[in-house]
Amino acid sequence: MTLWTTMILGRLAQTTLVALTLVTVCFVFVHALPGDTALRIAEARGGAEFLNLGKAQQIAEEEGLNRPILVQYGEWVGRIATGDLGVSLVTGQSVASELWQRGKNTLILGIAGWLASYLVALPIGIYAALRPHGWVDRASSFYCVTMASLPSFLMGIGLISIFALSLRWLPPAGFRSWSHLILPAATLALGLSAFSIRLIRDTVREVNGNFFITFARTKGLTATAALRQNGSRNAAIPIVAFAALQFAAVVDGFIMIETLFNYPGLGELLVSSMLARDVPMVMGAGLVAAIGYGLVNLAADLVSILLDPRLSHRDQTRAALR
């Protein structure tokens, strides 16, 4: 077994442990919520008008909700070991199929918002770094402080008010066409770019002050050419690592953004499942989110090691094992 394989297997083991911890926390939180789980499920299935104690007792018997908590948890872990996520307590549909559909929608939104943020952040951050204290640098600082201080739901409400309600250019909610993706993706992009612009600006400025850039400039290269030829890989390492962390962490924003825009993704599913006490769906969504987060971070680690120009192949392998 190679050292790279050992490193990857070690990171995957860490991801598995984190995923198991997260779903355990989700399981505890759902059962710690006030109220009867069977009553909530009965209400989610048929509505408040069909809710009665007899129906709730029937559901508790059918789904095994009256069994000890540890027994229910152990049964779920046993099914996961065989690759079975179970079925929804509300819809009776397969948890895996529902997560697959909702996960695709969340991935589309995440990629759209993440890419849009860096299409804005990269040129602005690099330009501000190459021309410090200029008007672009000052304007981007004001933009970053403003956007970072605004909660995502306020930005979303503002975009809905302007582009959906006032101008009527875009639909305010749902996901029936690609036009429905613009407002939630823009909300996500505004929040992400507020942090990435300053990181890119500071990273490029630091790299641009190194001796190898100064030496390249003495040979007649422009600042942009010197950075592109001699400093791009150095600057890319922290930017790639931060970009991966942002992409993995946007799951936090999905819960707010998807709920606000009624977007059918994992965030909206997680909220509705928590309210309905749909334990298998909540734990399945938590498991998918944790595994996705771990895999994105693993990919970022590998890319960062391969990009580092200071390391030889042997050094890269040793760095990966740290």
19-64 pLDDT tens trace = 888 888 888 888 887 777 888 888 887 776 667 777 778 888 888 8
Q: For the residues 66-95, what does the mean pLDDT come to?
A: 86
Strand partners for 94: 87
Q: How far apart are CA 228 and CA 235, in angstroms?
A: 10
**Structure confidence by residue, pLDDT tens digits, 218-271:** 555 555 565 555 555 666 667 777 777 777 666 555 778 888 898 888 888 888
Q: Residues 103-148: pLDDT tens digits?
A: 888 888 888 988 999 999 999 998 888 888 889 989 999 999 888 8
Closest CA to 101 of 265, 270, 254: 265
Mean pLDDT, residues 3-15 = 77
Going from N- to C-terminal start, the domains of the chain cover 3-81, 95-320
What's the burial of 63, exposed, middle or buried (CB within 10 Å: 0-12/13-18/19+)? middle
What's the count of helices (H) and strands (E) in the chain, helices before strands?
Answer: 14, 0
pTM for the predicted model, two decimal places:
0.78
Tell me, what's the pLDDT at 316? 47
CA end-to-end span of the chain, whole Å?
17
Check residue 208 and give its pLDDT. 67
Smallest CA-to-CA distance from 195 within 150, 145, 153 is with: 145
Contact 231, 275 (CB under 8 A): no
Q: What is the DSSP string of 225-279?
A: HHIIIIIHHHHHHHHHHHHHHHHHHHHHHHHHHHHHTT--SHHHHHHHHHHHT-H
CA dist., res. 168 & res. 174, Å (int)? 15
CATH fold group of domain 95-320: MetI-like fold (1.10.3720)
